[in-house]
Each structure stands twice: as structure tokens, then as C-alpha cells.
């Protein structure tokens, strides 16, 4: 929980400072954390009661990991490369 909140603050700071590589790295780590919730239903269940602390205020029906990713603009979908 505290790691997520720390990363969220770091993302905002790094973006504002123009540190785009640091911004991308922090967002990538947040994405990995959100994805890991899909592999750990017990942890997801525990954290579901703390959605407000994670920055989620509306109920969308998504699983927590996907909701975190969506709320923070982290894309879970597969890339759609041209395959050239």
C-alpha cells in the first residue's frame, strides 16, 4: 500500500520535473504491481477494502488490478504492433 502511494507521488513529481525516463520507470513498476494482483486473489481481496486509499473512488465493476491500471492510465492490453 505504502509502496503504491510512494510511486504515485513519484510519478507526479517526475513528470512535473520533466524526468520522463523516471516517470516511465515508476509507471512501469506501478503496472507490474497492478498486474501482480491478478495473480494473487487473496491480496486483491484484502486491498479491495482500501480502494479509497489507492485513489479509486468510483465502483466500475473491474477487478482491482485492472481498476488501478485504468485509474492511473496504465495499459494492460497487448501491443498492436504492425509486425513488419
Predicted confidence at residue 15, as pLDDT, reads 92
Does residue 79 surpass a pLDDT of 70? no
Does residue 32 fall inside a structural domain?
yes
Domain that holds residue 34: 2-71
pLDDT tens for 6-59 read 988 999 999 999 999 999 999 889 888 888 877 888 888 778 777 777 777 667
Does residue 79 fall inside a structural domain?
no
Q: pTM of the entire structure? A: 0.63
Predicted confidence at residue 84, as pLDDT, reads 39
Does residue 9 fall inside a structural domain?
yes
Return the closest-CA partner of residue 54 out of 36, 69, 42, 41: 69
DSSP 8-state assignment for residue 78: P
Round to whole Å and give the CA distance between 79 and 74: 13
Predicted confidence at residue 37, as pLDDT, reads 79
Amino acid at each position: 500500500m505504502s509502496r503504491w502511494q510512494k510511486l504515485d507521488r513519484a510519478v507526479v513529481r517526475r513528470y512535473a520535473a520533466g524526468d520522463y525516463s523516471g516517470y516511465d520507470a515508476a509507471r512501469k513498476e506501478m503496472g507490474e504491481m497492478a498486474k501482480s494482483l491478478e495473480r494473487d486473489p487473496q491480496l486483491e481481496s484484502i486491498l479491495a477494502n482500501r480502494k479509497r486509499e489507492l485513489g479509486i473512488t468510483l465502483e466500475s465493476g473491474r477487478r482491482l488490478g485492472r481498476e488501478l491500471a485504468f485509474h492511473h492510465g496504465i495499459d494492460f492490453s497487448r501491443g498492436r504492433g504492425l509486425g513488419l
